[in-house]
Amino acid sequence: MTDFGAHIASVAYQRLAKPTLFRLDPERAHHATVTAARTLGVHPLLSRAAQAGIARSPTTGRSISVGGITVANRVGLAAGLDKDAVAVPAWQALGFGHLELGTVTAIPQPGNPKPRMARLPLSEALINRMGFNNQGTHALAQRLRKLRDRGEVRVPIGVSLGKSKVTPVDDAVEDYVVSVRAVAGLADYLAVNVSSPNTPGLRSLQDAEPLRELLQAVVAEAKSTPVWLKVAPDLTFGAIDDVLEVASEAGVAAIIATNTTLSRAGVAAEEAATAQQPGGLSGAPLHTRSVEVVRYITENSDFETIGVGGIRDRAGAQRFIDAGAALVQVYSGLVYRGPGLVAELADL
């Protein structure tokens, strides 16, 4: 995306798209955005217009090898925005260097009862308790296979894997393995999500022994596909040490830091009451803690890290890079700043 294209995209989003979307319920706005992106991707004229007007070619710039993949720029789409891989061409057209799809589960599931998402506009934050609503790993695999068969995948694609809600925690390993098998040969890397706060019992899988069993099984089943691990920002540094030791022993290729938080630190006082609802908080209030976690991991391990949490501008992404992150990912920042954010970060 050119500087001019990024400027036009940002202005159009702030003046036209954002006011319209923010009049909708947050989840409806999310679906409207993904639907629009899907339309962009499946209509050749619109897709070509996007690439000509605002897209930065993912084949230009400096290639970077991180966690077993090679990317053309440092900015990626974070998991959660496109759970079912319905708008891959459009995300590529925006100039992302890699895409993380999902989180998906072996068993399709509707997620938690609605409403399950809230905006905190003054804080530039979101709260979600979606509960891994998705069409299942096999449905995502079918879409990826079609895209690859048509030669439409132009950037590395990761698939974030979670535990099906109906699967007991004691049976989590096989649940994840089913998902790994479903996307075999279709994902450039796999992200193990055991850090979402919205599936009962999921975060207990970050404890050393269950995590060791899970990661060993996933890495073995993934074979040559790199496995990344996404960690929670609410872990103590001591608990992070345990996670890193287990991940290293299992052969994990990179650490994503971080998922959403249960903390409400940093939320604007005017939004404190709204913020008390359950769910994981993402966006600007999470940024400082996520950067701290990235810095701790890079200073205390040999892992390459992917920084995610509250990136709203170039300065925020640079903080992650200065802390040691090799790549960054964005989601909430797109909601508040629009697609021009991708171009702002792509030449870091």
Phi and psi torsions of 52, nearest 5°: -70, -35
Q: What pLDDT is attached to residue 47?
A: 55
Enclosing H/E stretch for 126? strand 125-128
Distances (CA, A) of 335 to 28, 99, 167, 200, 348: 13, 17, 32, 27, 21
Residues 6 or more apart whose Cβ sits within 8 Å of residue 163: 105, 169, 172, 175, 176, 194, 199, 202, 205
Catalytic site residue from 10, 160, 195, 196: 196
Q: What pLDDT is attached to residue 304?
A: 98
Could you say which residues of the chain have pLDDT below 50?
1, 49-50, 52-60
Distances (CA, A) of 139 to 85, 183, 204: 9, 10, 27
**Active site includes 196?**
yes
* Predicted TM-score of the model (pTM): 0.94
Domains of the chain: 3-346 (3.20.20.70)
